[in-house]
Amino acid sequence: MRISIIGTGYVGLVSGACFAEIGHDCVCVDLDPSKVERINRGETPIHENGLEPMLKRLVGKRLRATTDLRQAVLDSDITFIAVGTPFDGQRIDLTYIREAARQIGEALREKSSYHVVVVKSTVVPGTTDDVVRPVLEQASGKKAGADFGVGMNPEFLTEGVAVDDFMKPDRIVIGGIDERAIDAQREVYKPFANTPTLATNNKTAEMIKYVSNSVLATMISFSNEMANVCTALGGVDIADVMRGVHLARYFTTTLPDGKPVKAGITSFLWAGLGYGGSCLPKDTKALSAHAATHGQPMPLLDAVIATNLAQPARVVGLLERHLKQLNGKRIALLGLAFKPDTDDMRESPSIGLAKLLIDKGVKVSAYDPVARETGRAALPSAVAHHESLDSLMQDIDAAVIVTSWDEFQRVPQLLAGRADAPVIIDGRRILEPASVPRYEGIGRRS
Ligand code: NAD
């Protein structure tokens, strides 16, 4: 099929490349000409495993990028909207969605053949039918259902493993105003015919995405609350507790050959610095705000959000326990990105933590193997950035593991035999407590 994608960020670019990979002709549209030029040179503007080789292979064949939205829509059969949907402090900000829909509608005015417009961005339930559809109808002067179709296809990819997630999906959710809009999407996903596919209405598709993210955020904050109780109780380590919890048959299945297999959800039942990124923080807030406008408060989800926001302060408390006064101390942040294998700094816990430490008079230094440019841009300018883990670990009083990059497994080796070993606050519980001279982990009483 001929596909156009509006918005070439993490979701739009990965989707575009993967659609081309499975045989479609794909054009990615973005407002940013420098992004478009880079993509057309086969370079990726974001760090995502496996994406660059894909671009190198497909650009100029079945994949290209452009700033010309109108032409892209005219030259395709189906258009996916993958623009940002930030939280503005009160509610979801649909400015980019409205504008993209308006521009697509104007292009549809010139088109005589049937076209399908699909919202891939995460939008609060009701947006596709009550916002996107009327904007498209008004801008095109045409009728949805008769002249064009409208659908909703939420994206579940995880940054860092996005290409893999897209190419080996666990589920495909397709919403549509009618069978024709749904069938067009089925055609796009035909190569994934063995993947469980749920066809439904647009509002349900939108809600599936929010419930999926809310349950993950809830697991994380639940685990962190339990970890904080362990710290308060003393003599109990949340890591041991969670290992015991994970052994339940709900979390660890035994295969017929006797081999135990842990369910993926267990990685969300693990204590740490809290969630970040471009999805869980904004989506939980947007859903709660949206539900409130429908007279339905969400106290459980609100507590999930509050617990997460408080987690960086817990680390400050652990540092104070070991170093007493933080003023003038030298503290290193190991990792900046909200998770490993990405350079995405959006709502990373490292930002809040760096600010708290700077307010306490700490000299903050940092190193992230990938989030270098994005890390510099997101953190306060007072943070000193290092180019290697080895240099970061010199002349410090403490180090906080913020991101669970594999490289940080080297920390024990770097500290071996050092008389001046800094205290390590393991914000992701990735090291063995006995592996470094002075260890503190979230959810553990030293
Ligand atoms: P992003 O900010 O990385 O990218 C959005 C892109 O859209 C930007 O490059 C911007 O320039 C472009 N854009 C905005 N308006 C445009 C217009 N009118 N025409 C052309 N380009 C336009 O966003 P993202 O992280 O890819 O997220 C996009 C959507 O997908 C959001 O709703 C997000 O919640 C959802 N989502 C994100 C992820 C993720 O892991 N990042 C996963 C699932 C769903």
Using one digit for the tens of pLDDT, what is the confidence trace for 180-208?
999 999 999 999 999 999 999 999 999 99
Nearest CA to ligand 1 atom 1: 9
- Specify the pTM: 0.95
Active site residue 279: yes
For residue 283, give the nearest of 126, 46, 121 by alpha carbon.
Answer: 121
Average pLDDT rounded to a whole number, residues 67-93: 98
Using one digit for the tens of pLDDT, what is the confidence trace for 26-53?
999 999 999 999 999 999 999 999 999 9
Q: Are 423 and 334 in contact (CB under 8 A)?
A: no
Using one digit for the tens of pLDDT, what is the confidence trace for 1-12?
999 999 999 999
Domains of the chain, earliest start first: 2-200 (3.40.50.720), 214-441 (3.40.50.720)
Q: Are 431 and 424 in contact (CB under 8 A)?
A: yes
Is the pLDDT at 446 greater than 70? The verdict is no
Phi-psi region of 235 (alpha: psi -120 to 50; beta: other; left: phi over 0): left
Average pLDDT rounded to a whole number, residues 292-319: 97
Average pLDDT rounded to a whole number, residues 416-440: 93
Residue 352 is predicted with a pLDDT of 95
Assess whether the C-beta atom of 29 lies below 6 angstroms from ligand 1.
Answer: yes
Assess whether the C-beta atom of 279 lies below 6 angstroms from ligand 1.
Answer: yes
- Output the six-digit token pair for 179: 């069978």
Using one digit for the tens of pLDDT, what is the confidence trace for 232-274?
999 999 999 999 999 999 999 999 999 999 999 999 999 999 9
Q: Which atom of ligand 1 is nearest to the CA of 7?
A: 7
Name the amino acid, one letter, at 245: V
Query: Which element (helix H / strand E) includes 136?
Result: helix 133-140
Assess whether the C-beta atom of 117 lies below 6 angstroms from ligand 1.
Answer: no
CA 128 to centroid of ligand 1, rounded, Å: 16
Assess whether the C-beta atom of 426 lies below 6 angstroms from ligand 1.
Answer: no
- Output the six-digit token pair for 103: 């521009």
Query: Which element (helix H / strand E) includes 114?
Result: none
Q: Which of 18, 26, 28, 279 is catalytic?
A: 279
